[in-house]
Chains A and B, each alone.
Chain A
Amino acid sequence: MKLDRMKDLIEKYFAGETSLEEEKILRGYFSSPDIDPSLRKYQPLFQFFEVEKDVVFDADKLPKFQETKTVSLQPQVGTQSKGLFARKGGQFWKIAAAVAFLAIASVSIFKVFEPKPIEIAHKGKAKVIILDENDNPEEALKQVNDALALVSKKMKKGKDKTNESLLKLRNATEILNHEN
C-alpha cells in the first residue's frame, strides 16, 4: 500500500504536480533505509537536495555596517519622516560642497575659454583692436575710424618726409652745379 502511494507520488513529482506537503513525504521516504528497490534509483536526487540545503553563507563575510543600531524594515508607530536632509545626515553638506565646486569650476572654465579681443600693437604708440562680434557696434566703428585716421596720418607724415628729402637732394645738386 505504501509502495503504491510512493509510486504515485514520484510520478506526480516528475510531472510537476506535487504539493509541498507531498514533496516533504517523498523526502522523508527517500531518507529512510526502507526504500523499495524499484524506487531506489531516485534516491540520489533527494539526497542531492538535502546536501544542497546544508550549504551556508559564512556570517563573518557579511558586510560590516557603521551603524550599530538595528533599523526597522517596517513602519514604527509614532515615527515621522524627518525630511531628506535631516534623515540623510551629512548628505546636505556633501551636496552643498559638490554644488560649490561645480560652480567654481564652471566659472573658471568659462574664463579660460572666453573669446578675447585681438590687439595689434603699433610701435607701442597706438593699437588696433579687433572686437568680438558681441561688443558694441558703435564702439567698433569708432575704433575702426581711429585706426584709419592713424594710418592716414602716418601716410601723410611719410609723404612730407619724402618731399623734404627730395628738396634737400635738389639743393645739393644745385650747389654742385654752381661749383662746377
Chain B
Amino acid sequence: MMNFEKLATNVKDKLYRFALRITGDVAEAEDVVQEVFIKVWNKRDDMQEVNNPEAYCMTLTRNLSLDKIKSKHRQTAEIGEALQLTDSESTPYTTLEKNDALTQIRKWMQELPEKQRLTMHLRDIEGMAYDEIAESLDISMAQVKVNLHRARQFIREKMLATERFGIA
C-alpha cells in the first residue's frame, strides 16, 4: 500500500534531478519539487484515481519547471553558471565541476532540444522504460526512440570531435 510519505521518499530525488535538468538551477529545482509535493498533498484524495503516481509527479515536475523557465525568460544552456553552491555544500556536482570531461558532457546535454535532453535523462540516468518516458513527457513511444537516438548521436559526435580535433 502506497502512502504520501512513501511516495515522496521514493521519488523526491528523481523529481529533483529532473527539475534540475530542465531549469539548470538548484534553487528553482528545489522550489519545483516542493511545489509538486504541495500539489500532490492538496489533491491527495484525487490521487486515488491516478494509475501511476510517479509518472504523474514527473509530469507535474516537467510542467512546473517549464513554467519557471518561461516566467523568467531564461536559457538553460549554461547550467554551470546557474549552480551557485557554497563550499559547505558538498554535492556530487562539486565533484563533477572538477572533472572537465564530465562537465563538458553535461554542457552538451544542456545544448540538446528539450525533448531529446529529457528523454536521454530519463533513460540513461533514471533507467526508465520507453513507455514510462512516453507517459512522463506526454509523447509517443516512437518519439521517445527517435529523441533518444538523436540525443545519443549528438553526444557521440561531440565526444568524437573532441577526441579527434580537441574541439567541443
A42 CA / B105 CA spacing, docked (Å): 11
Q: A52-B125, A70-B6 are in contact. List 19 more A-B contacts (CB 8 A).
A: A14-B153, A15-B149, A16-B146, A20-B129, A23-B123, A48-B102, A49-B124, A55-B13, A55-B17, A57-B15, A57-B33, A58-B30, A59-B9, A61-B30, A63-B37, A65-B41, A73-B44, A73-B48, A74-B1
Contact with A along B127-156 (1 / 0, CB 8 A): 101000000000000000110110011011
Option from A48, A54, A62, A75 in Cβ contact (under 8 Å) with B8? A62
Given contacts A49-B125, A62-B8, A63-B41, is CB(A57)–CB(B30) below 8 Å?
A: yes
Q: Does A152 contact B (CB under 8 A)?
A: no
Given contacts A14-B152, A45-B159, A57-B13, is CB(A72)–CB(B145) below 8 Å?
A: no
CB-defined contacts of B93 to chain A, threshold 8 Å: 55
Q: Judge whether A16 and B149 touch: CB under 8 Å.
A: yes
Which size class do B's interface residues fall under? 35 or more
Q: Name the residue among A20, A63, A73 with the largest chain B CB count within 10 angstroms.
A: A73
Q: Judge whether B38 and A63 touch: CB under 8 Å.
A: yes
Q: Does B71 contact A (CB under 8 A)?
A: no
Q: Does B3 contact A (CB under 8 A)?
A: yes
A70 CA / B156 CA spacing, docked (Å): 46
Contact with A along B105-122 (1 / 0, CB 8 A): 110000000000000010
Q: Does B68 contact A (CB under 8 A)?
A: no
Q: Judge whether B12 and A62 touch: CB under 8 Å.
A: yes
Option from A16, A44, A73 in Cβ contact (under 8 Å) with B105? A44
Interface residues of A (CB under 8 A from B): 13-16, 20, 23, 41-42, 44-45, 47-49, 51-59, 61-63, 65, 70-75, 87
CB-defined contacts of A44 to chain B, threshold 8 Å: 99, 101-102, 105, 159
List, sorted by A's number, 7 A–B pairs whose CB atoms are closer than 8 Å: A23-B123, A41-B159, A52-B92, A70-B5, A70-B6, A72-B48, A73-B4
Output the least CB separation between B47 and chain A (Å): 5
Q: Does B22 contact A (CB under 8 A)?
A: no
CB-defined contacts of A48 to chain B, threshold 8 Å: 96, 102, 105-106
Interface residues of B (CB under 8 A from A): 1-9, 12-13, 15-17, 20, 30, 33-34, 37-38, 41, 44-45, 47-48, 50, 53, 91-93, 95-96, 99, 101-102, 105-106, 121, 123-127, 129, 145-146, 148-149, 152-153, 155-156, 159-160, 163
| Nearest opposing residue in chain A for B14, CB measure | A57
A48 CA / B155 CA spacing, docked (Å): 12
Given contacts A13-B152, A14-B156, A55-B92, is CB(A74)–CB(B48) below 8 Å?
A: yes
